[in-house]
Amino acid sequence: MRTDLAAEIELTPAFHDLDPMEVVWHGHYMKYLELARCALLLRFDYDYPQMRESGYLWPIVDLRTKYVRSARFGQRLKVRAQIVEWENRLKIDYLISDAASGEVITRAHSIQVAVDLRTGEMCFASPPVLLERLGIAP
């Protein structure tokens, strides 16, 4: 697996991210994944504005999350995003962990597919622009 197709961010859950049980509400983890995904795509100059400019939309068609333990207010978290598939879809694996101990908080993955902006049709292979941006010979 190519480790150069990864990015990591750090964040601290805000008070407004907590639920009544004083842990991070499960829906806010998607926000954390999105922040890491954008940092990753930005590394390759192919974040959402560049995707649109290249003529493609990349909607998420599948998102799976495994909550291992709860994150808490003020806890420093690392969120790692890594591209693991790119030929026919864009699959990104995520790992949210405690920044100090490395203890796993959440594992997830998302799958995005290319959709032609002009026609609205899904592409069954990733467009060459994605491979170019990732530095992968088509």
Domains along the sequence of the chain with CATH: 6-133 (3.10.129.10)
Closest-CA residue to 17 (of 66, 63, 69, 74): 74
What does the pLDDT profile of the chain (138 residues) look like in tens digits?
577 899 999 999 999 999 999 999 999 999 999 999 999 999 999 999 999 999 999 999 999 999 999 999 999 999 999 999 999 999 999 999 999 999 999 999 999 999 999 999 999 999 999 999 999 865
